[in-house]
Amino acid sequence: MNKLWLIIQREYLTRVRRRSFILATLLTPLAFGLFFVVVYFIFSYEGNDARQIVIVDEGNILNRSISDDKNLYFKFVDTDLQVLLDNFEEMHYEGVVYLPKVHDVMDPNFTIHYYSNNKLTLDLEPRIRERVRKSLYQYKVDQLQLDPKALKALDIKVDIDPHSIKETENETGKLAGQIATIFGFMMGIVMYFTVFIYGMMVMRSVMEEKTSRIVEVMISSVRPFQLMMGKIIGVGAVGLTQVAIWAILIPLILIIVNLAFGIDPQQLEAANPTATQMDPAEAEAMFVQVMAEINRLNWWAMLPLFLLYFLGGYFMYASMFAAVGSAMGDDLGEGQALTLPITIPVLLAFYIMIAVVESPNSSLGVWSSLFPLFSPIVMPARLAFDPPVWQVVLSITFLLATSIFFVWLSGRIYRVGILMYGKKVSMRELGKWLFYRG
């Protein structure tokens, strides 16, 4: 036990102290922040030059009033359009907007004309169109002598408020489905990457020990199983450390970016011209609702379960990677055939998880979240959808049992593999090693 602890310590400390680890751990959140800043600037980019647009409004639809915008100024003139266009070069306008008279108030279509030497840009077009549409709406309301309140009443929105029949006290909110989907998906992805990245890390490190021949010195002091477990646990702790730091730093950096640049997601959306404008009050109501939904999720059950699935999945896959690493020489390419049987289930689980998030209670979802090779990635994605308790219990039981079995199995292969040199190893060979005596 004491030796195992020493090994865990070394495996953990040497990795955590490594410059590459520190850089990756700190730079990843920074990269996230930078990404957001860049995205924000791309979306909010507007030409530097102030542009002036002349409006010829024949039917006085706009009633001589239109709001200016950042770097965009409007000016009404009564000059004849043809004169304006003839002298366009000298007047340095960005463009001319021509609004013809409204001939038929009942016609929902209305065409305005834009004259310019420059192309009508993607940011300019919706701004002009939206302004004209609003004014024209008001103009038509006046012309047709309609009641604005009655019109407002016609602007219908239908919400669906779902209720769970079984559990009356814990009513599912209407956003629950969407939020659960996002959370489930995120959890699935986190599981997928951690299993892969840290599992691979275990494999590489086993190979290194083998090729540098330190392993023979090591196992003259400790049992091979201790060495393997120490490594798996140590690297797993490195993984947890990294994920924990990211879980704190990434939101923190996003908040800092937010404060420093005044970026918030709503503004991002507003800056995006194709997005529908959202009423700030409505957005806030939505935010409150989202938070309420997030709070409603059963975190006290979910967090420990996540940890269990992480540990189960990690130990299962990392031990397999360790076994494969022990069988390989220093040639990574040669090992491809051996890593394939491990990577395929991980990849399959990932794709199943994507499908299962769409329909969490499908038979695919149920069966794959019971199957231990898939469950560490699929079940966390289902957890937000309140799967039946028996399924969770069964799935965890299977996973932990399989995990222990695989650790044992890998230990048997590992203890033979690390001492085997210059031999090309096949899956069959690995199978034989299982039955070697101590």
Partner 1 sequence: MNILTLEDVVKQYDKHTAVDHVSFAVPEGSIFGLLGPNGAGKTSLIRIITTITRADSGKVFLGNEPLNSNHPSQIGYMPEERGLYKKMKVGDHLMYLAQLKGLRKKEAKAAIEVWFEKFDIQDWWNKKVQELSKGMQQKIQFISTVVHGPRLLILDEPFSGLDPINTNIIKDEIDLMHQQGISIIFSTHRMEQVEEICENIVLINKGRNILEGGVKAIKNQFKENLFEIAYVGQLPEINSSQATIVQNNGRELVVRIAEGSSSDALLRFLLDRGIHIRSFREILPSLNEIFIRQVEEKNQQTLVV
Q: For binding to partner 1 (CB under 8 A), which residues are involved?
A: 3, 6-7, 10, 14, 18, 209, 212-223, 419, 432, 436-438
Q: How far is CA 36 from CA 25, 41, 250, in A?
A: 18, 9, 11
Instruction: In angstroms, give the least distance from the CB of 408 to partner 1.
Output: 18
Instruction: In angstroms, give the least distance from the CB of 430 to partner 1.
Output: 14
* Dist CA 328 CA 203 (whole Å): 9
One-character DSSP codes across 169-202: SSPPPTTHHHHHHHHHHHHHHHHHHHHHHHHHHH
Which of 390, 421 has the CB closer to partner 1? Answer: 421
Residue-wise over 345-368: b if at least 16 C-beta within 10 A, else e? Answer: bbebbbebbeebbeebeeeebbeb
Which of 7, 381 has the CB closer to partner 1? Answer: 7
Instruction: In angstroms, give the least distance from the CB of 410 to partner 1.
Output: 18
Nearest to 129 by CA among 120, 116, 139, 140: 120
Which of 217, 354 has the CB closer to partner 1? Answer: 217
Nearest to 114 by CA among 163, 43, 185, 54: 54
Instruction: In angstroms, give the least distance from the CB of 222 to partner 1.
Output: 6
Helix intervals (H) in 212-298: 214-218, 224-261, 265-271, 280-296
Nearest to 166 by CA among 386, 423, 437, 19: 386
Which of 113, 423 has the CB closer to partner 1? Answer: 423
Helix (H) / strand (E) containing 99: strand 95-99
Which of 215, 342 has the CB closer to partner 1? Answer: 215
Which of 133, 432 has the CB closer to partner 1? Answer: 432
Instruction: In angstroms, give the least distance from the CB of 11 to partner 1.
Output: 10
| Paired residues of 96 in beta bridges | 54, 115
Instruction: In angstroms, give the least distance from the CB of 201 to partner 1.
Output: 14
Instruction: In angstroms, give the least distance from the CB of 216 to partner 1.
Output: 4
* Dist CA 304 CA 101 (whole Å): 68
Which of 94, 209 has the CB closer to partner 1? Answer: 209
* Dist CA 10 CA 18 (whole Å): 12
Nearest to 328 by CA among 200, 197, 193, 194: 200
Coil/strand/helix, residue 113: strand
Instruction: In angstroms, give the least distance from the CB of 284 to partner 1.
Output: 53
Amino acid, single-letter form, for residue 347: L
Which of 168, 220 has the CB closer to partner 1? Answer: 220
Instruction: In angstroms, give the least distance from the CB of 3 to partner 1.
Output: 6
Helix intervals (H) in 18-53: 19-43
Instruction: In angstroms, give the least distance from the CB of 205 to partner 1.
Output: 10
Q: How far is CA 23 from CA 20, 32, 194, 236, in A?
A: 5, 14, 18, 19
Which of 13, 38 has the CB closer to partner 1? Answer: 13
* Dist CA 239 CA 315 (whole Å): 12
* Dist CA 386 CA 392 (whole Å): 10
Which of 305, 327 has the CB closer to partner 1? Answer: 327
